[in-house]
A = this chain, B = another copy of it.
Amino acid sequence: MNYQELSQQIKSKSSYLCVGLDSDINKIPQHLLKEEDPIFEFNKQIIDATIDYAVAYKPNIAFYESMGVKGWESLQKTIEYLPDDVFTIADAKRGDIGNTSKMYAKAFFEQMNFDSITVAPYMGSDSVEPFLEFEDKWVILLALTSNAGGKDFQFESLNSGGLLYQKVLEVSQKWGTKENMMYVVGATRSDEFKEIRKLVPNHFLLVPGVGAQGGNLKELSQNGLNKDGGLLVNSSRGIIYASNGQDFAKTAGIKALEIQKDMAGYLDQYL
């Protein structure tokens, strides 16, 4: 999916919600365990229930990888099930030397038809660029992460100016364009988020915002939306594990709709 199409989807669905498919065999409803592929069955029902309210889906690859070959089969079926008009994110946080990153790109862009992959910046340009060579495919680069350990290095103040995460935003903008790069921005403070928007006014930002990881959707939207949308806000556990019973999919749909309604309002106000 390209930039225009994503922007169009956001406008037509009045939503910039991304549903995180962190599907864990120990957390999905018990009654699904009798299915041949419980994780895929869970994802399928979650997708069906939320598809009208979400523009993006983001399986976190760790959850699938932890189940070995069977997990990869569930992931493959999930990506095949997702329709072409939603934006798909392999939340894989990969990154390696050039020829090896190309292998990861093949895994997620060719073996599985993901639109995008999250990539870690530590190894620099030639670990990221191989992902950018694929047409209509995207890198979503980690800039500022919302976990506690994010503070260990990302906020280091540099002699060349600014903080490390700001340097990542600045330098990496030379590697791609707003048409093939986004950033993971887990900003928890409003002023931080405003600063980031100044540094990258045009790129899409993926925000692990709503739900378990905290974050205020109104503030995010006010500071982050731009004329093309410019935001994807992820919710994982708050949607997919909203209920643990027979009604899990229906409840997930209700939660997604609640968020989408708020988003529709913010799009009216701030776009």
Enumerate chain A interface residues (CB-CB to B < 8 A): 22, 24, 60, 62-63, 65-69, 72-73, 76, 91, 93-98, 100-101, 103-104, 106-107, 111-112, 120-128, 142, 145-154, 156-160, 164, 167-168, 171
Contacts and interface: CB of A to CB of B under 8 A. Distances in A.
14 contacts: A62-B101, A65-B104, A66-B103, A66-B106, A66-B107, A69-B72, A93-B95, A122-B122, A122-B145, A123-B150, A124-B147, A124-B151, A127-B149, A156-B159
B164 A148 contact: no
Contact of A126 (B107, B123, B148): B148
Q: Which of A120, A128, A149, A151 has the most CB of B within 10 A?
A: A149
A159 B157 contact: yes
A66 B98 CA distance: 14
Contacts of A72: 68-69, 72
Contacts of A123: 93, 120, 142, 145, 147, 149-150
B101 A68 contact: no
B154 A157 contact: no
A120 B60 CA distance: 17
Given A156-B160, A158-B159, 11 more contacts: A22-B100, A62-B94, A62-B96, A62-B101, A68-B72, A72-B72, A123-B150, A126-B147, A127-B147, A153-B164, A156-B164
A60 B149 contact: no
Given A123-B142, A124-B151, A152-B124, A66 B97 contact: no
Contacts of A93: 94-96, 120, 123
A164 to B, nearest CB: 7
The 3 A-B residue pairs with the shortest CB-CB distance, nearest first, are A124-B149, A124-B152, A62-B103
B124 A150 contact: yes
Nearest to A69: B72
A126 B97 contact: no
